[in-house]
A = this chain, B = another copy of it.
Amino acid sequence: MSANVPTDICFSFSGLACRGGRTGPHGDGWGIAFYEGRGCRSFHDPRASAHSDIATFLRTFPIKSRIVLSHIRRANRGRVALENTHPFTRELWGRSWSFAHNGQLRGVKRRPLGAFRPIGTTDSEHAFCWMLEQLRVGWAEPPRPAALDAAIAELSRSLNELGTFNLLLSDSRSLYAFCSTRLTRITRRAPFGRATLIDDDLTIDFAEHTSPTDVVTVVATQPLTRDEVWTPLTPGTLAVLRDGLVHTAA
């Protein structure tokens, strides 16, 4: 989620969490990162989100955030363990970075690392460490947004050549979503309407929870609601989200 005002994710997370072991097979752990200004707090649980006490707590506890990033895991590389649970986080340039990945990347562990090293054993965390090292070596200080967007697009395409690389990434300022095979999005703004989850018996009237100037975009692997129009991202492209709006990076 990217928004232009601090917004809670309770509704969308309620739907997503069901897919971790109830309406979907992604029962090997889950995590979520909430940005609040420069700060980031994340919650991780190696248990299925549909049966996790922490997930149950978060479904009803509104944390207001302008960028939120969440992942439910179906393990392929790396055992089910806390250290293998996305989103992964690192600091670069005094910013908190979070990374969540869907897919497999053949041979990614042969890409050399530098200052960032995996704590767990997933391909995904290795890819994250590799990406950050390229950025760190490229710029001692953070570059302008357009240069950073272009660099992340290029690094994403490079990783995508190794297999499937659906990505959510944030540096606390932008939310990056690289579509390798499947990502879809919806942008909600005035006039706000009602929406019903696909995975749970829950309807919301966004008009009751928003102001007329709010803009909120949600990106997900599959649509989370049954009565709204979601727009698929184009495979091979990076969407850059700032303040709830979507830009496409070259």
Question: Which residues of A pack against B, CB within 8 Å?
Answer: 36-46, 53-54, 57, 61, 81-85, 89-91, 93-96, 115-120, 136
Contact = CB atoms under 8 A, between A and B. Distances in A.
Chain B CB within 10 Å — which of A53, A57, A82 has the most?
A82
Contact of A43 (B41, B53, B96): B41
Contacts of A39: 44, 46, 81-85, 119-120
Given A37-B81, A38-B119, A38-B120, 12 more contacts: A37-B82, A37-B83, A38-B83, A39-B46, A39-B119, A40-B83, A42-B42, A54-B57, A83-B96, A89-B89, A94-B119, A96-B119
Contacts of A85: 39
A81 B118 CA distance: 28
25 contacts: A36-B82, A36-B83, A37-B81, A37-B82, A37-B83, A39-B81, A39-B82, A39-B83, A39-B85, A39-B120, A40-B82, A41-B42, A41-B43, A41-B44, A41-B45, A42-B42, A54-B61, A57-B57, A83-B96, A89-B89, A91-B117, A93-B117, A94-B117, A94-B118, A95-B119
